[in-house]
Chains A and B, each alone.
Chain A
Amino acid sequence: MAPDGNMTNGFKVVGTRPKRPDGVDKVTGRAKFGADAAAPGMLHASIVRSPHAHAKILKIDTSKAEALKGVKAVVTRADFAEGLTGENWNILENVMAGDTALYDGHAVAAVAATTALAARDAAKLIEVEYEPLPHVTDVDKAMAADAPVIRAGAADKSVPEGMHPNVVRYHESGHGDVDKGFAEADLVIEESFKTEATHQGYIEPHACLAQLGPDGKGEVWCCTQGHFNVQKVCAALVGTETSQLRVTPSEIGGGFGGKTVVFIEPVALALSRKANRPVKLVMSRSEVFRATGPTASTSMDIKIGMTREGKITAAQGVFRLQGGAFPGAPMEFTAMCAFAPYALENVHQIGYDVMSNRPKQAAYRAPGSPMAAFAVESVIDELCNKLDLDPIEVRLKNASKEGTKASYGPKFERIGLVETLEAARAHPHLTAPLAEGQGRGISCGFWFNHGGETAVSLALSEDGTVAISVGTPDIGGSRASMGQMAAEELGIPYENIRTTVADTATLGYNEISHGSRVTYASGLATIKAARDAVKKLCARAAAKWGIDEEAVVWEDGCAKPSGPNAGEFEPLPLAKIARSMGRTGGPIVGHYEATPEGAGVSFATHIVDAEVDKETGQTKVVRYTVVQDAGKAIHPTYVEGQFQGGAAQGIGWALNEEYIYGEDGRLQNSGFLDYRIPVASDLPMIDTVIVEVPNPGHPYGVRGVGETSICPPLAAIANAVSNAAGVRLTELPMSPPRILKALNDQANG
């Protein structure tokens, strides 16, 4: 094959299921996560947090804490950089409150002491005087005229005049004429929906070990989805130079978007600088719930028109997202993803980013998209029911294809939505009989996927083995898939390659592991780095043989003359060239640094059977099938794992998980007992079908797979539950009280 060409079949390693390189470490307890690091002389830290949803901070008295035995440093906002602007100011404001506590759990001070117990005791001795202010936590109430203002002047220029100051960003997109489209419809359904905030729920709380000396040089060890971002943000917040701070990522115990954000590392660095000792800072689970994550909560209005034959004539959506006390709720993604599965002549969508007294929302697996799918796909299901149309056929009839003008603007390249719908139609699940009390639901879902800044290096060792350094933390088995792609290119066994997530001093800037970008972008960079190494290997062979570099090809792990005209030479295997590389020109290292922009969008179709107990309102998911386009599955087992994990998180979001705030604006369920994520006995096996419609933007056709899997579940389950209960559910989660209320409301007319 051409060294820069694409390849979508004839793979030897790609598509197989080798063992993951971090497997033994992870089953023996040896794998080092964020909280597993220690350093000589290490202190332990604890953070003091606001018990108020909104309060002026009048005074912080740290004297009693400082007097406690073992306490070595106390920091408040005064110990961080001054004069920050833009996003850095927002991050600092969240990391450590300024003059106002903006949500229950907002950090206001921190202390470091010789033991974790002493740090906790000292935190309790820090006296903070507050003046409580009016608060608001609901998205619709936060937009109302009488809502307290979270922060005046936070809105950007996109917001139309006359909106409440809590509306800080506005989005509008679409094409065609929706009024004309609705007039052409045989049936128009308009419905409003709400979803509560959910937490990413990673099992590993945020943790770091940090050291910052008086010379401005520092080290951070932490669990993060993006250590280069941690480096950049920390340097700004503590006022040191980026390159003087080296950040090493630990193993990461789940992130799902929630570990793309910096919370504790700057605090540990500030404490370390003051004490001139390493500082370890580990969040409790309650802190994780109160002060990190969650998703935005939403309020949405959807209007869709359809002909008797099932053609959608127009679609319109208004999406209000509450993102906590800072701008940034992903309402434009919600708006842009909402109608993306469908080829529409007339479509219009509006998004509002709304501030409230809640923690700053963080990305959660396809941020913004699952809620949109819940609302839109519920209305489509209702239209199918009322018009007596088959839900798969209607979706096929309207499905986006290659060349469709997407609801959010661009023209789609090659995409696989139709293929997922056809695979769903052919799946035995779709025609299996349902038992009494059960309902079936289907839904499509969409996510953009992402490229982003990426750098990879690939170094050969003398014995012919290969070390790959990547800068994207491994959140889904990517070290295995990088090894597979390099093995494919180099023609050597997968086992001869070791992939490491390198620290910030080793590689150029790598964007965070987010946007389902790693297998696509770091994968592409690994392939290109391997091709760079192959070029260098061929040059060494050419020099040895005394022929042109162009006359050498790489096949089956060997340099070979490219034809009879190149001369007759014994093929030179990689190991042989590597053995002599010190004498033939020095180390051989392949590189690739770029911002790849060919991430292929992806679609999924899910099928769910749910059983609703009308007496208790309890729902059980009894059967679940995920069908998703992966482009090309590098390691099919891990692709299945992503599909299953996304579905399981979606089940939790649909049926049970929610942030519950009291009248006082405090979070009432900040633990796994009251914020119950799905446990093993809640779930059935989750069937998966991997569809492969290659992405033209990746050498092997890879599309990201991690995020799309959480887009359809909320809607698919809502459709199943609504069909089982005989009443349309329009609020998430569909917990027993909400289902009983819907049934009662229906019974009472």
Chain B
Amino acid sequence: MSMIHVTTTVNGDEVEFLCDPRETLLDVLRDRLALTGAKEGCGTGDCGACSVTVDDRLVCSCLMLGAEAEGKSIGTIEGMANGEELHPLQEKFIEYAALQCGVCTPGVLVATEALLKKNPDPTETEVRYWLAGNLCRCTGYDKIIRAVLDTAADLRKAS
């Protein structure tokens, strides 16, 4: 099968790749661009571990084809910190132990950043429903929800 040539932007950098038409965006990120921060937990859009943004919209990268990235702007967990400066969400997740095994963490952080861009002052219920598509099996979500709410409060104070 012939490969498709794709030009796209990932975390602000222009990238080109060739991919099989059947490859998902997640396959391309992980196997062709060596960006393994997004994880495949299910491959069916149920767990959110592969969350990325495409033109600022939160998507499961396992549900989108690599070829569909043409001309788009992709954001992944690898682009979240600014150089050596962690994003406030990343800082707070470490401080609150809002992660245990850490395999869902990249997806949770990408999803949360997208939430706070849309809604800088979410209620606990809003955070819980927004993150309902990101499965975590270790934490019971308690410390994640607290970390998100407190980061949002910090960011509101800072702005």
Contacts and interface: CB of A to CB of B under 8 A. Distances in A.
Contacts of B20: 115, 117
By size class, the interface of chain A is: 35 or more
B33 interface: no
| Majority secondary structure of chain A interface residues (helix, strand, loop or mixed) | loop
A255 B100 CA distance: 11
A644 B109 contact: no
B25 interface: no
Nearest to A673: B46
A203 B78 contact: no
Nearest to B90: A27
Interface in A620-648: 637-638, 640-641, 644-645, 647-648
A254 B145 CA distance: 20
A649 interface: yes
A251 B146 CA distance: 25
A256 B139 CA distance: 12
B99 A673 contact: no
Contacts of A205: 40-41
B27 to A, nearest CB: 7
Nearest to B131: A680
Interface in A156-181: none
Interface in A24-50: 24-33, 35-36, 38
A57 interface: no
B137 A256 contact: yes
A368 interface: no
Contact of B41 (A28, A204, A255): A204
Contact of A24 (B22, B94, B101, B142): B94
Contacts, number: 182
A525 B33 CA distance: 42
B73 interface: no
A103 B123 CA distance: 46
B101 A475 contact: yes
Interface string B94-108: 111101111111100
Choose among B36, B76, B102 the residue with the greatest number of A CB atoms under 10 Å from its CB: B102
A477 B98 CA distance: 12
Nearest to A28: B81
Interface in A473-488: 475-477
Nearest to B35: A29
Contacts of B155: none
A409 interface: no
Interface stretch (A91-99, A413-421, A438-446, A681-689): A681-689
B31 interface: yes
Contact of A27 (B109, B129, B139): B109
Contacts of A255: 101
Interface string B32-43: 001111111111
A513 to B, nearest CB: 12
Contact of A117 (B22, B80, B105, B144): B22
A679 B49 CA distance: 13
Contacts of B141: 648, 678, 680, 683
A27 B93 contact: yes
A677 interface: yes
Nearest to A642: B100
Contacts of B78: 28-29
B47 to A, nearest CB: 5
User: Residue among A24, A202, A251, A681 with the most chain B CB within 10 A?
Assistant: A681
Nearest to A207: B40
A192 B109 CA distance: 45
Nearest to B133: A679
B134 A680 contact: yes
A116 interface: yes
A649 B142 contact: no
Interface stretch (A15-23, A563-571, A599-607): A15-23
Interface in A676-718: 677-683, 685-686
B12 interface: no
Nearest to B87: A27
Contacts of B90: 24, 27-28
B119 to A, nearest CB: 15
A386 to B, nearest CB: 33
A284 B22 CA distance: 16
Interface string B129-159: 1011111111111111110000000000000
Residue from the set A31, A115, A282 with the largest chain B CB neighbour count within 10 Å: A31
A20 B97 contact: yes
Contacts of A677: 135, 137
B44 A671 contact: yes
A200 B135 CA distance: 13
Contacts of B99: 23, 26-27
A187 B96 CA distance: 49
A644 B86 CA distance: 27
A461 to B, nearest CB: 24
Interface string B44-66: 10110100000000000000000
B70 interface: no
Contacts of B140: 644-645, 647-648, 678, 683, 686
B69 interface: no
Contacts of B30: 35-36
Nearest to A636: B97
B77 interface: yes
Interface string A404-442: 000000000000000000000000000000000000000
Given A29-B106, A35-B30, A648-B141, 16 more contacts: A19-B95, A23-B93, A27-B86, A28-B37, A28-B78, A29-B78, A117-B22, A203-B41, A203-B49, A204-B101, A254-B137, A645-B138, A673-B46, A678-B140, A686-B140, A686-B142
Which 10 A-B pairs have CB atoms at the shortest separation, nearest pair first? A29-B37, A253-B103, A648-B140, A26-B102, A672-B46, A29-B77, A23-B94, A644-B140, A27-B90, A36-B36
19 contacts: A19-B95, A20-B97, A29-B77, A31-B102, A33-B39, A203-B47, A203-B137, A251-B101, A253-B41, A253-B102, A254-B101, A641-B138, A645-B137, A648-B139, A672-B42, A679-B131, A680-B131, A680-B136, A681-B132
